[in-house]
Amino acid sequence: IPTAGRAGLPDSPSNHRLQFERDVLAGLAAPQKTLPCKYFYDEIGSKLFESICELEDYYLTRVEADIFSCALDEMTMVLGQGVALVEPGAGNCEKAEPLLVAMNDPVAYYPLDISPEILLAAQQRIQRRLPTLDVVPVIGDFTSTTVWQQLPKSHQRKVLFFPGSTIGNFTPEQARELLQRFAEQLRPGEGILLGADLVKDSVVLERAYHDSAHVTEAFNKNLLTRINNELNGNFNIDDFAHRAFYHRVRQRVEMHLVSLTDQKVEVSGQQFEFAEGETIHTENSHKYTLSGLRTLLHETGFTTQKFWTDNKQHYAIYYAEV
């Protein structure tokens, strides 16, 4: 997901492949091998992520949904009437749907995502349920500047909807840049509804990213399968292990793929050497404290209006305005 700050190539399938190749080759050539987590989400990866969201161990989705359903009345009151909801990285739009249904006469919904198929299916579903709502899919990468230019210029009052703790997949610096960019899209009085996972016991965190059903392992390893299929790679998937751990100082869960042997791998005609135990860092999932979130919002031009959390304080949803 994190690409904020990079100019990138214009959106087109062949440029997506080029960018993928470029990112993978650069990532595997780095001293700490790394692969950008946004590449998890091909068709299989997106399905695996949906399965992760249903796991008992992956509490984030469940707790966030519980907070939404408990606080829905209060939230819709704070959001106000006649809002245009804009959702960066909307995917199947399943989180926005109950919110839109509960909201007070929303005028429009703009889901932003790189996958047109998923967006169009969601558009039809939501349009059937809310026939008077203007549902306008916007295709593109929300971390690029170009996608925001496709949003219709209007006098509608915008609220950005950024749930799912996606903000956690950005480093704190990238998160600041992204929220600043979000703030630039808003006029005074417009806001953001932001969901974020909170710092907690490391056992709970590590179980969420190393689930007993091994779905997260399949999700992590699918990145190698994707490279094999799309970039002519020859990773032997069984020669890598899934590792996820909480880094207390960095306040994040890191996911890695650990090479189980000394080995050589080829991708797009280039060879990469792995020592036994060497890792590819595939994802960061940053966890926030309530005060850390408030500071992040404040530093990027937002003023917190209200926040909601669960009774264990595992997760928080903030509403903040510029």
Q: Which residue is nearest to ligand AVI (CB)?
A: 285
Task: DSSP letter for 199, please.
Answer: P
Neighbouring CB atoms inside 10 A of 8's CB total 15
Are the CB atoms for 148 and 283 separated by under 8 Å? no
Interface residue with ligand AVI, options 144, 174, 259, 285 (CB under 6 A): 285
For 133-183, give the DSSP string: SEE--EES-TTSSHHHHTSPP-SSEEEEEE-TTGGGGS-HHHHHHHHHHHH
> Which among 9-17, 137-145, 158-166, 290-298 is the span making contact with ligand AVI, rule CB under 6 A?
158-166
Instruction: Tell me the backbone φ, ψ of residue 66, rounded to 5 degrees.
Output: -65, -45
The residue (of 68 and 209) whose beta carbon lies closer to ligand AVI is 209
> Which among 25-33, 130-138, 160-168, 312-320 is the span making contact with ligand AVI, rule CB under 6 A?
160-168
Interface with ligand AVI, residue 209, by CB under 6 A: yes
Interface residue with ligand AVI, options 190, 217, 254, 283 (CB under 6 A): 283
Q: How many CA atoms lie within 13 A of 18 on its CB side?
A: 8
* Contacts to ligand AVI from residues 210-249, by CB under 6 A: 216
Interface with ligand AVI, residue 165, by CB under 6 A: yes
Neighbouring CB atoms inside 10 A of 178's CB total 23
Interface with ligand AVI, residue 61, by CB under 6 A: no
Interface with ligand AVI, residue 166, by CB under 6 A: yes
Using DSSP, how many helices (H) and how many strands (E) does the chain show?
A: 10, 13
The residue (of 140 and 164) whose beta carbon lies closer to ligand AVI is 164
Mapped onto helix, strand or coil, the DSSP state of residue 30 is coil
- Residue 57, Cα to own-chain centre: how many angstroms? 19
Residue the block writes with tokens 């399938």: 13
The residue (of 54 and 74) whose beta carbon lies closer to ligand AVI is 54
Torsion of CA 288, 285, 26, 115, to 10 degrees: -110
Mapped onto helix, strand or coil, the DSSP state of residue 111 is strand
Interface with ligand AVI, residue 168, by CB under 6 A: yes
Cβ at position 134, least distance to ligand AVI in Å: 27
Binding mask 33-52 for ligand AVI (x = CB under 6 A): -------------------x
The residue (of 59 and 110) whose beta carbon lies closer to ligand AVI is 59
Cβ at position 285, least distance to ligand AVI in Å: 3
The residue (of 126 and 244) whose beta carbon lies closer to ligand AVI is 244
Is residue 202 packed enough to be buried (19+ CB in 10 Å), middle (13-18) or exposed (0-12)?
middle
The residue (of 169 and 300) whose beta carbon lies closer to ligand AVI is 169
Q: In the complex, which residues of this chain contact ligand AVI (CB under 6 A)? A: 52, 60, 164-166, 168-169, 209, 216, 283, 285
